[in-house]
Amino acid sequence: MALEFRCLPESYPQGTVARRMDSFTHKAYQHCIRLTRRSGSNFAYAFCALPRDMYAEMCVLYAFMRHTDDLGDAGERSTQARIDDLKSWRARLNQTLDGESSTDLILEAIADVWNRKQIPRCYLLDVVDGVETDLQPGRIVTITDLERYMYRVAGAVGLCCISIWGYEGPLPLESAIACGHAFQLTNILRDLGEDAEIGRIYLPDEDLARFGVPSSEIAEPRHRDAVRQLVRFEVARVKDYYHQAEPIYSVLSPPGRRIQAAFTDLYQGLLNEIEQADYDVLTKRIRLSRWKKLSVSLRCLLGWGGIPITAAPATTSARPPQRTHSGK
């Protein structure tokens, strides 16, 4: 308990409410830290390199994302029940951000972080929208459709993170979004086989058609060589996103650069695993070892590592999201 207490922010910074944290908010932070530590998430491994306040704030953001994602998980609930739960969660989030008292520990904590770091409200709402998007998936026909989806489920999360880490000068928004695209497309490739088993294909129809792979037959052995070529093509796209993301490193705060490098190292580790498997993501399990995760955390903590360079720029481009991101 003492360690958890030391990880909590001690007071509100200038420009927000000038008072020490009350006991309920303190309890809310502790709750989020415990949830994050128990998760075993790739993200959580990198949090240890952050300063105390930032560590606690990232645990709060993670807990918020995790709970939102849990609301979208099936369990024994119908799709409509999950949609209703997310709508209720979105409404309660808005009410808490508007200043209404809440008895929910995660909402109390995320409202405090939102207040501290001046996170645009739409970023948090986009996180909820991203989970709901997975419950009512539209057809992904073009790369534009895929990028719109990846922004909702990954880019918005990244923009929340950057708000917590801090940055200097104008934020290169497209670079930040491209980084989210790189991470999410890596996830999509890693899980291609598992998703196909439940009838979910997140790669664009235009890419499937390019390699002659019907979406309904992507897991069939007769298409295995074509799928490997498709995955090779998408890996090149991920590397291009990483190049587009490089400008973000120059504006992030030092702690932000360290943890961004750690996240990138983790996801590039997955990308390397895909390449080493000769792009066979259907029959081989693509995962990072616990040792790899721990080594990335140690490098991050010690400040080792720099901006990753993965490939020369290609032809794909990050597109900004369709909604405006300004103000709370």
pLDDT in tens, 121-154: 999 999 999 999 888 777 899 999 999 999 999 9
- Does 93 share its domain with 148? no
**Cα 242 from Cα 262, distance rounded (Å):** 14
**Cα 173 from Cα 155, distance rounded (Å):** 10
Quick one: pLDDT at residue 262?
82
| Residues 35, 47 contacting (CB under 8 angstroms) | no
% of the chain surpassing 70 pLDDT: 79
- Does 141 share its domain with 105? no
Residue 130 located in a structural domain: no
- Does 83 share its domain with 153? no
Residue 310 located in a structural domain: yes
Residue 123 located in a structural domain: no
More confident residue, 295 or 57: 57
Residue 328 located in a structural domain: no
**Cα 207 from Cα 231, distance rounded (Å):** 10
More confident residue, 325 or 197: 197
Residue 306 has pLDDT above 70, yes or no: no
Largest CA distance in the chain: 65
Report phi then psi at 252, rounded to 5: -70, 150
- The pTM (predicted TM-score) of the whole model is 0.80
- Does 83 share its domain with 188? no
Region 275-284 average pLDDT: 91
Residue 87's identity, in one-letter code, is K
- Does 97 share its domain with 143? no
User: Which of 97-106, 255-264, 284-293 has the largest mean confidence?
Assistant: 97-106
Region 55-60 average pLDDT: 94
Domain end (from 65, 87, 118): 118
Give the Cβ contact number of residue 21 at 10 Å.
17
Residue 132 located in a structural domain: no
Average of per-residue pLDDT values in the chain: 82
Say how many residues make up the chain.
328
Quick one: pLDDT at residue 16?
39
Secondary structure, 3-state, 158-180: HHHHHHHHCECCCCCHHHHHHHH
Residue 307 has pLDDT above 50, yes or no: no
Q: Provide the phi-psi class of 115: left if phi over 0, else alpha when psi is between -120 and 50, else beta.
A: alpha
Residue 231 has pLDDT above 70, yes or no: yes
**Cα 138 from Cα 133, distance rounded (Å):** 8
Quick one: pLDDT at residue 314?
36
Give the closest residue to 271 by CA, choosing from 294, 297, 240: 240
Quick one: pLDDT at residue 139?
84
Quick one: pLDDT at residue 4?
36
Residue 258 located in a structural domain: yes
For 10, the token pair is 């001690």
Residue 15 located in a structural domain: no
For 171, the token pair is 């934020």
**Cα 182 from Cα 297, distance rounded (Å):** 20
Residue 321 has pLDDT above 80, yes or no: no
Region 308-324 average pLDDT: 37
- Does 177 share its domain with 248? yes
Domain end (from 89, 118, 147): 118
- Does 227 share its domain with 114? no
Residue 58 has pLDDT above 90, yes or no: yes
Judged by average pLDDT, the poorest of 17-26, 82-91, 167-176, 244-253 is 17-26
Residue 12 located in a structural domain: no
Q: Residue 42's pLDDT band (boundaries 50, 70, 90)?
A: low
Instruction: Tell me which residue range forms the domain holding 102.
Output: 1-7+23-118
Give the closest residue to 51 by CA, choosing from 262, 281, 256: 256
| Residues 159, 325 contacting (CB under 8 angstroms) | yes
Residue 33 has pLDDT above 80, yes or no: yes
Quick one: pLDDT at residue 325?
37
Quick one: pLDDT at residue 245?
95
Domain end (from 118, 153, 183): 118
Residue 115 has pLDDT above 50, yes or no: yes
- Does 204 share its domain with 289? yes
- Does 208 share its domain with 317? yes
Residue 75's identity, in one-letter code, is G
- Does 214 share its domain with 270? yes
- Does 54 share its domain with 195? no
Q: Residue 298's pLDDT band (boundaries 50, 70, 90)?
A: low
- Does 141 share its domain with 70? no
Q: What is the CATH number of the domain that holds 194?
A: 1.10.600.10
Report how many domains make up the chain. 2
List beta partners, residue 125.
none
User: Which of 38-47, 218-227, 284-293 has the largest mean confidence?
Assistant: 218-227
